[in-house]
Structure 1
Amino acid sequence: MSVPEARCRNRSSTGFGVKLNPASDKLVIFLEGGGACFNTSTCLANPSSYSEQNFNSWRGGNGPGGILSSSNADNPVRDWNMVFVPYCTGDVHAGNATGQNVPGIAAPQNQSFVGYANIGHYLQRIVPTFTEVTQVLLTGASAGGFGAAFNYDRVAQAFCPHPVALLDDSGPPMADTYMAPCLQKRWRDLWNLDGSFPTDCADCSTANGGGIVNLASHLGAKYPDARLGLISSDKDNTIRTFFSFGQNNCASIDGLPSSMSSATYAQGLEDLRQNHLSDSASWATYFIDSTTHTYLGGNGFYSTTVSGTALTDWVARLFMGEPPGHVGP
């Protein structure tokens, strides 16, 4: 579905995909991943456009797999209505800035980081379309996982009083020790990230540029009866690479830094669980001893088991039955 107001970072038009099931009163909103754009190297690996042709190619290939599959009997949301939000804004679906020049040699200029604005345009169409919905799952992988967390508050408000669950796959908002404030500041300044936090989350922005981790604890406190879930490998190769740009006070933020060690990343993930999520009954986590990046988009959703708990079962419990709790290392 083309949305005239929605734009990619190269200012081309974009939209979202819909798969309807008139027999269902439940809805999945899935935010696609695909890196981020904040220096020369990261922008090169991040898509700057997403057209209807791109969507048709994705749909005709291996796209609608994993949690978007309508045919796999192990998928707990296989018969739900589904909305697919493509990713072409380079800002983890959380930016609202135009005319931005990315720092770095030969980095892209005059970029539109408007992922958060796009979600707003989409909600103006999605909410009136699903007026009979009784349950919503907002989810995404990688950049889409981060984006699901950034957009959770507004989606929960848009569908209130109906419950909205959050499922963040491989987008852990770690503490400043692991996700350096200088790196967060680059994202804030380039993408206008501060405009995307809930207005009542004062701690989401701190004087040194850090504080994004506080979004997780804020959501848990604001929505004590919600179901909020985080999936992550404890040695995720991809997110370790992105966080490495903040090492040594961002000394190599526009270069090619050495990757954050797997041990440091695992410590950051455990810190997130113990010090920012565990105090809330809303949050549940599923951590895997692996370097794999993302699970929801493919066969990993069905083949992953940790401590005797299948990932599909844990996800099902996130919005049905008893809370799934914390699983894994």
Structure 2
Amino acid sequence: MSNKIKKKKMKKRWKISALVLVIIAIIGVVGYVGLQNFLKWKAPELSGEPKVGEWYRITPEGTKSANGKDWHSLIKVGKENKVIVYFFGGGLAVDEYTAARPLNDDGGFYADYADVDFGVKFGIASNNKENPFKDWTILAIPYSTGDLHAGSGEYEYTDLNGNKQILYHNGYINYTSFMKEAMKYIPNPDTLLIAGFSAGGFGTSLLADDIITQYFPQVNNVTVAVDSSLLLTDTWHDVAENMWQTPKEISDRLVSDNITLDSLTSLSKKYGNKIKILFGSSLRDEALSTYQSYFRNGILSTTNENGDIYEKDLAKMVADLQENIPNVGIYIWNEIEKNKDGKNLTPHTILPSPNFYGKKYSEDKSIADWIVNAVNGNINSYGLDLLDK
């Protein structure tokens, strides 16, 4: 299908950036005026020793966003001797059509900017007293490269004005440059949680092995938590190898149409019970079901039918995870949002939302409870009955 036909059939502009959901949540908390100031917040650049409990930027030399502009990451040193490596989401580019359409006021497929410091104010990274991770050290990795945090290449494409451009798929370069700087401030933690939402959840599954082996080989208590990261396409290996140019050890794991399943299965085979693996998703994820329609037929569409398809894909994903990974923890949650078009679809991601710790979706357990229990050695699954309906 030609790009022109795809464009004509795209009736809606759609943003996959999971941080939009954070904005929506914030609106209900602080109001419009407060939101404007909130979104402008930027952490100060780290200079000298960081103060405990304060957020700072680290801007490694040579890092860049998809558009070639500067990239930075964030660090907060906590009171506890525990660390979270936290990957942000924000779409992805998988071909020339998507590469030519970064997120902007009219929509698009992927974020190409890193100024989203406000994302650490809510959810798993927040200082809210209800958040069980509030006193952990957090290495938060913004996402602006369209490559699920795993690329190291440059992709040439033609923009909508007919001009040749370069998309810098430098996610892996950015991540490694930041980690080398951040590790100077991390002594010898006893606990590690690797977590991410949306594109950051995919990144979590792709990079968990790298994080463990390169930066935290001495940590015995390791948990990997993937939030809302299910997309199916037979092109994953080709995209990772030839477009994003991921390290070979990453692309070699991708052998099926399910990039997250492949990555987590490989992780489990390598480490066994030495690490704990968790996967969560809402039942009829609006963003992922919309994006999956692009993979399926080249058209972005938000429909109940797409939600039905996602439900079936999710049920198979969970079954495959349970078959491939002994003692995997699953959390499926359901919060139908009926929009003005009457579509019964569910929100996308939970880690960056106040609902992460504030809402108990199943058996009086929040997603935060589920992850904390797993960290402490008690792995459980919730919401599986939803997949049987």
TM-score, normalised relative to structure 2: 0.71
Query: Quick check: 187-196 or 147-156, which moved more?
Result: 187-196
The aligned residue for residue 216 of structure 1 is 264
How many angstroms apart in 1 are the aligned matches of 2:174 and 2:198? Answer: 18
How many angstroms apart in 2 are the aligned matches of 1:188 and 1:2? Answer: 27
Equivalent pair of 2:321/2:328 in contact (CA under 8 Å): no
Equivalent pair of 1:27/1:80 in contact (CA under 8 Å): yes
In structure 2, the CA distance between the partners of 1:258 and 1:181, relative to structure 1 (3 Å rule), is farther
In structure 2, the CA distance between the partners of 1:308 and 1:19, relative to structure 1 (3 Å rule), is same
SS in 1 for 2:86: strand
How many angstroms apart in 2 are the aligned matches of 1:246 and 1:104? Answer: 21
The aligned residue for residue 43 of structure 1 is 102
Considering only aligned residues, what root-mean-square deviation do their CA atoms show, in Å? 2.6
In structure 2, the CA distance between the partners of 1:95 and 1:196, relative to structure 1 (3 Å rule), is farther
Equivalent pair of 1:183/1:246 in contact (CA under 8 Å): no
Equivalent pair of 2:284/2:308 in contact (CA under 8 Å): yes
Aligned AA (2:377):
G
Superposed displacement of residue 25, structure 1: 0.9
SS in 1 for 2:377: coil
The aligned residue for residue 97 of structure 1 is 153
Give 1:232's match in structure 2, choosing from 270, 278, 281. 281
Aligned AA (1:263):
D
Larger radius of gyration: 2
The aligned residue for residue 195 of structure 1 is 248
Aligned AA (1:204):
L
SS in 2 for 1:261: helix
Gaps of 5+ in 2: 1-57, 336-345
SS in 1 for 2:218: coil
Matched, 1:133 2:192: no
Aligned AA (1:3):
P
In structure 2, the CA distance between the partners of 1:318 and 1:119, relative to structure 1 (3 Å rule), is same
Q: After superposition, where does 1:164-183 map in structure 2 within 5 Å?
A: 164-172=222-230, 179-182=232-235
SS in 1 for 2:349: coil
How many angstroms apart in 1 are the aligned matches of 2:296 and 2:135? Answer: 44
The aligned residue for residue 15 of structure 1 is 72
Aligned AA (1:33):
G
How many angstroms apart in 2 are the aligned matches of 1:71 and 1:86? Answer: 21
Aligned AA (2:309):
T
SS in 1 for 2:196: strand
Overall identity of the aligned pairs, in %: 21
In structure 2, the CA distance between the partners of 1:258 and 1:235, relative to structure 1 (3 Å rule), is closer
SS in 2 for 1:230: strand
**Cα distance per residue 1:28-77 (max 9 Å; x no partner):** 12111111233347523333222xxx35xx34xx74111111232x3221
Aligned AA (1:218):
S
Give 1:244's match in structure 2, choosing from 290, 293, 310. 293
Superposed displacement of residue 14, structure 1: 1.5
How many angstroms apart in 1 are the aligned matches of 2:149 and 2:368? Answer: 25
The aligned residue for residue 348 of structure 2 is 293
SS in 2 for 1:8: coil
The aligned residue for residue 2 of structure 1 is 59
How many angstroms apart in 2 are the aligned matches of 1:311 and 1:292? Answer: 14
How many angstroms apart in 1 are the aligned matches of 2:80 and 2:366? Answer: 25
